[in-house]
Amino acid sequence: MNVEEYMVKLGQQARRAARLIARADSGQKNQALLAMAAALDANRPALIEANAKDLAAGAANGLDAAMLDRLELKPATIDGMIEGLKQVAALPDPVGGITDMNYLPSGIQVGKMRVPLGVIGIIYESRPNVTVEAASLCLKSGNATILRGGSEAIHSNQAVAACIAQGLEAADLPAETVQVVETTDRAAVGQLITMPEYVDVIVPRGGKGLIERISRDAKVTVIKHLDGICHVYIDAQADMSKAVNIALNAKTHRYGTCNTMETLLVHEAAAAEALAELAVGFATAGVELRGCEKTREHLPTINAATEEDWSTEYLAPILSIKVVADMDEAISHINAYGSHHTDAIVTENYTLSRRFLREVDSSSVMINASTRFADGFEYGLGAEIGISTDKIHARGPVGLEGLTSQKYVVLGDGHVRK
């Protein structure tokens, strides 16, 4: 069997399993999730042994320290996977929920019932814990999953897959509900994203290169974001202590996350005070600043920002700063250079805050809060499969609901159309 045939086989099996898991009741799904947690706990030595093979191969193949770190299954990583499974088990089951059920003039009742999407394909890079995270969210939302992890994590992923299979078996659910691709052949990805008859949605998780490639070539909907070029705009009427706290938190809380601020916009009337205070804070944190011409009038020792800086996601302790004439210029800058991910204003002005919410075209728009809050847990979704910056289907952090759709249900009593 070649790799294309192998992937088609997985697809057919997933499609069949999807019909069964769509009907599974919440108790059975939760039983599987908790049994997976127990299996991970019981198989720690096997997980660490498999992971050691990947780490050794990775080191031999010259993976850098950051990649090896993401690849490593530390005891705390395994604790995290177990805890995550328990949390997903505790979330309410979205499947079958009926909303908006109303009587209509004809006498029929019409409502909407939440249903699974079907088969979700997940493509990710080095982190083996994504296997558990993605599988658990798809299972709870009643979907079958095909998981394709990075080749550098192949042994770890297979070991995790064995624990997932134990959990499914314990709850008497079909083994094909969660399938982890066993080949490292790259052609597997190409096949996975181009078989709409077996796969309904693709969720890629990883670097921009991976996601761009998948979005370009996929024949099904891709839930994704490419960049997180997030902005904080400090308005002339900002409370300066809030502004400084938010800007420092949005940049320095974590550098490598998609909801980290990459560009700071400051109203010219607030620039002198804000930049003086922030320069101290960012210097302490070791953040390199790059400013527009007006910024450098206030902070003459920093580097000049180039046109390219405004559309760069640094994922690093670097920040570009632009002084703007007013909120309109800030909004234009955000909508033009941003990535429609997460953008915040700091202001005490009611009218400006109301306009900012409406006019900024991003998946999360914030007033007086750090962009770092853009996250499924912080938004109360319980967990997230990823963040979408598109407008179709799901936007912003995507939790269980984003992995479902709705069908109309109609109740009559012999009603016919007049």
Residues in contact with a copy of itself by the rule CB under 8 A: 19, 22-23, 96, 102, 104, 106, 108, 110, 113, 115, 117-118, 200-201, 221, 239, 241-242, 245-246, 248-250, 253, 335, 344, 346, 357-359, 361-370, 372-374, 378-380, 391-393, 395-397, 405-417
Instruction: Return the DSSP state at 181.
Output: -
Distance in Å, CB of 208 to a copy of itself, minimum? 17
**Residues linked to residue 324 through DSSP beta bridges, in sequence order:** 267
Between the CA of residue 33 and those of 26, 118, 258, what are the distances in Å?
A: 11, 19, 28
Q: Residue 101 phi/psi, 5° resolution?
A: -85, 110
Distance in Å, CB of 155 to a copy of itself, minimum? 34
Here the contacts of 39-44 (C-beta below 8 Å, separation 24 or greater) are: 39/162, 39/163, 39/164, 39/166, 39/167, 39/170, 40/78, 40/81, 40/82, 40/85, 40/132, 40/160, 40/163, 41/78, 41/82, 43/159, 43/162, 43/163, 44/75, 44/78
Residue (292 or 385) nearer to a copy of itself, CB: 385
Residue (159 or 250) nearer to a copy of itself, CB: 250
Residue with token string 């920002």: 305
Residue (80 or 196) nearer to a copy of itself, CB: 196
Residue (53 or 208) nearer to a copy of itself, CB: 208
- What residues have CB less than 8 Å from 36, skipping those under 6 apart? 85, 132, 135, 136, 163, 164, 166, 167, 168
Distance in Å, CB of 299 to a copy of itself, minimum? 23
Residue (104 or 285) nearer to a copy of itself, CB: 104
Residue (163 or 232) nearer to a copy of itself, CB: 232
Distance in Å, CB of 246 to a copy of itself, minimum? 6
Distance in Å, CB of 188 to a copy of itself, minimum? 23
- The amino acid at residue 19 is R
Distance in Å, CB of 364 to a copy of itself, minimum? 4
